[in-house]
Structure 1
Amino acid sequence: MSDSFHRMWADLAPVGRHPGSGGYRRYAWTGADTDCRAWFRAQAEARGLLCETDRNGNQWAWLGDRTAGDAVVTGSHLDSVPDGGAFDGPLGVVSSFAALDELRRRGARFTRPLAVANFGDEEGARFGLACVGSRLAAGQLTRQAAFALRDADGVSLPQAMEAAGHDPEAIGPDPERLAGIGAFVELHVEQGRALDLTGDAVGVASAIWPHGRWRFDFRGEANHAGTTRLADRRDPMLTYAETVLAARREAELAGAVATFGKVAVEPNGVNAIPSLVRGWLDSRAPDQAALDTVLAAVEQAARERAERDGTDVAVVRESFTPVVEFEHALRDEIGRILGGSVPVLGTGAGHDAGILSASVPTAMLFVRNPTGVSHSPAEYAAEDDCVAGVRALADVLEGLACG
């Protein structure tokens, strides 16, 4: 089992890795993404699996009759955030193939179809919207909204898909495919330190916190940085700065998290007072009430500061995902398969499993992250824990697909 995992891990590791940062830049519908997709297809074909790409660019590797229904599906994604780590997404895909290898080694007899999936554009690094592939399949992203997505260079999602050899005219809901899935189990590196604190290698997800992304546009007046009196300035950077501090303050009060992680400035000159500062807020909380409280307080702080600065503020919600409670029956069954002593924990990170949960019974396994660092080249999981994750996933798949 460990040999299978390590061979695949070593083969995938160089793809999309930036030599300067050591992080990964596997963005949707780019050359690195194409290479990841080729790697997935090669792994599927090496195992005699039927590999197909659906209308939305998601990849599926099938064992058994995919039209029989009640299939058990596992997998994750292969794309990354800018300079992301090696484990977020790929650990789940590599572990899925390794778990299948382990089941074959055990001589498992499958009574349900099994598939490994690679969902496209999960991170949203290029077009700004997370889980595009699974959202499209689940009907949670309209064709019109998908066609309107643009990257930083102005390239539209359809243009990017077409350049990569995929027909954008085919995208849309895929209810028949999802109706044929009886369970989806996604393994993922934990994006936090809960398992490290409990001393467990593997855990089971209980829920995904409600989360969203909001764009704050702060508009002022461009002017000369050296000749404009402080009293005469309408500087949106001041408004933005106060809003960033307010986000941290209000999140701490509500037991939530809030981050301004992306900013764009116009005209973006060292010696120019900005005319526009655009900041993107990511906020997540244990429940909807806490999230609403944070957003309302941050927006109020922004508007109060804008009045003092003589600036204007507009807030646009770009994406939102409500709380996802993974199906209790499936979660409990997984707990039983794994011996009943596996810790159950919530997470503030979004996943394809969360998107699919509205259409398919879903569950998640987490593998210990000793530092809690994620979305960074420093992201890490120990070799023994990765192997423990493969073993746990194999046990779960055996219990679900071979029973």
Structure 2
Amino acid sequence: MWRDLAPIGRDAGSGGYRRYAWTAADADCRAWFKDQAESRGLTYEVDRNGNQWAWLGDPEGTDAVVTGSHLDSVPDGGAFDGPLGVVSSFAALDELRSRGVEFTRPLAIGNFGDEEGARFGLACVGSRLAAGRLTVEQAHALRDGDGVPLPHAMEKAGYDPSTIGPDPERLARIGAFVELHVEQGRALDLSGDPVGIASAIWPHGRWRYDFTGEANHAGTTRLVDRRDPMLTYAQTVLAARREAELAGAVATFGKIVVEPNGVNAIASLVRGWLDSRAADQSTLDTVIAGIEQAAREQGERDGVDVRVTRESFTPVVEFAHALRDELGRILGGDGGGIPVLGTGAGHDAGILSASVPTAMLFVRNPTGVSHSPAEHAGEDDCLAGVTALADVLEGLACR
């Protein structure tokens, strides 16, 4: 499975993946998922929001156990973030069948659409729509960098955008959702464990900063006469690092658009996107307020207008304690023994947690590198993740 999926959407130059929502690469990933489902005799379907499902047992049944993740990527992302969870889900089902287990609850594997938000700027679109955490109006307003609206992109890919929206009936049939994911950090590497259990997801969000100045000639305009938004942006980037460091949080400006974007021109507009995360809401609020205040103060000195727009936000997610404890019992015995760790990365499991009992398994990442072609997990650890997921699914769906 891994070998067949690996070439899809891979850029020959960077070695990273560009599997953006509702593109040709995304279509190839979806075709791969469908083939995996049908080759195993599973019932395949696509829901109203474009999420894919592969069912063992009655799709209309209740108290189902669901696993899976996503197949899309960030720009030039790694091979493991998302796909490891989907591949491992099919492999875990194969393992359970080889054990000859009998399922007492419906089992499903899911591929949630547009988890990374690389194309339309909002993460977890598929799961947000299903859970009612993204309205139809908000979804229709999403546009990619070329101005293409989300509904048009879906329609061009062969899906009917008129059906998108909350899917409470489907979610009500799910008794537990367990997502396996490569760890996006080094906690397991430092502890020496191949697999861990998630405790919580930090609160996090994305903010767009628009710095508006005045376009002018780079060679003839005196420094004192300039209203250069690039200066304000640069100072705001430094302020973000400072505020995050003081608070023990993280803050990153990772995307920027410049107009008119000429080498010999002073910019008229610099638009930057801030991603910030912290262990608790109070800390995150402090960091965000500090960054915005620094930006506005610098803007006044530079003669630059600063506008801040919050584009997305996810509050802290405490995974269902009962389900988390059950995973610990299944994998570590009554005495425990499997590490439990928090994460600053968002996931579909976090979005669905308000509607469905959710849990997560992490597979060790020896370098901690993620959202990069250097992202990696060893084969032995990946196989340990499959075994752990199979054990969990057997404990939940075969009792």
TM-score, normalising length: structure 2: 0.99
- Residue 3 of structure 1 is matched in structure 2 by none
Deviation at 1:216, TM superposition (A): 0.5
Cross-structure match for 2:374: 378
Q: Residue 68 of structure 1: CA displacement?
A: 1.5
Letter in 2 for 1:310: G
Counterpart-to-counterpart distance in 1, 2:375 and 2:185: 10
Query: 2:121 is paired with a residue of what secondary structure?
Result: coil
Query: Paired residue for 2:153?
Result: 160
Tell me the equivalent position of 1:199: 192
Paired residues for 1:352-371 under 5 Å:
352-371=348-367
Q: Which residue is equivalent to 1:260?
A: 253
Deviation, 1:307, is 1.1
The corresponding residue for 2:386 is 390
Structure 1 residues 2-401: aligned runs within 5 Å:
8-339=1-332, 340-401=336-397
Tell me the SS of whatever aligns to 1:338: helix
Mapped partners of 1:26, 1:265: distance in 2: 25
Distance in 2 separating the partners of 1:35 and 1:312: 44
Secondary structure of the 2:356 match is coil
Deviation at 1:264, TM superposition (A): 0.5
1:249 is matched by which residue type in structure 2? Answer: R
Write out per-residue CA displacement over residues 192-232 of structure 1, whole angstroms, 9 at most, x where no aligned residue.
Answer: 00000000000000000000000001111111100011011
Cα distance in structure 2, aligned partners of 1:45 and 1:351:
26
CA distance in 1 between partners of 2:218 and 2:230 (Å): 12
Give the distance between the partners of 1:110 and 1:326, measured in 2 at CA.
25
Q: Distance in 1 between matches of 2:37 and 2:256?
A: 40
User: Match of 1:345, as an amino acid?
Assistant: L
| One-letter identity of the residue aligned with 2:387 | R
CA distance in 2, matches of 1:227, 1:12: 54
SS of aligned partner of 2:341: strand
Q: Which amino acid aligns with 2:200?
A: A
* Partner Cα distance (2:4, 2:211) in 1: 46
Matched residue type, 1:396: V
Matched residue type, 1:184: F
String of CA shifts for 1:106-136, please: whole Å, max 9, x gaps. Answer: 0011000000000000000000000000000
Aligned-partner SS, 2:98: helix
Q: Distance in 2 between matches of 1:66 and 1:148?
A: 32
Shift of 1:67: 1.3
CA distances 1:363-393 after superposition (whole Å, capped 9, x unpaired): 0000000000000000000000000000000
CA distance in 2, matches of 1:68, 1:396: 20
Secondary structure at the aligned position of 2:198 is classed as strand
Residue aligned with 2:313, SS:
strand
Amino acid at match of 2:19: R
2-side partners of 1:16 and 1:275: how far apart? 35
Take 2:184 and 2:318, find their aligned partners in 1: how far apart are those partners?
A: 18
- Structure 1: unaligned runs, 5 residues or longer: 1-7
Distance 2:190 2:365 in 1: 10
How big is the shift at 1:242?
A: 0.3
Per-residue CA shift, 1:88-123, capped at 9, x if unaligned? Answer: 000000000000000000001100000000000000
Q: Deviations over 1:62-106 (max 9, x none)?
A: 000111200000000000000000000000000000000000000
Structure 2, gaps ≥5 residues long: none
Counterpart code for 1:296: A
Amino acid at match of 1:252: E
The list of structure 1 runs, each at least 4 consecutive aligned residues, that deviate by more than 2 angstroms after superposition, is none
User: How far off its partner does 1:52 sit?
Assistant: 0.2
Q: Distance in 2 between matches of 1:236 and 1:37?
A: 42
Query: Aligned with 1:44: secondary structure?
Result: helix
Deviations 1:147-176 (A, max 9, x none): 111111111100000000000000000000
Aligned length: 396
Q: Secondary structure at the match of 1:360?
A: coil
Return the alpha-carbon distance in structure 1 between the equivalents of residues 307 and 388 of structure 2: 47
CA distance in 1, matches of 2:285, 2:100: 51
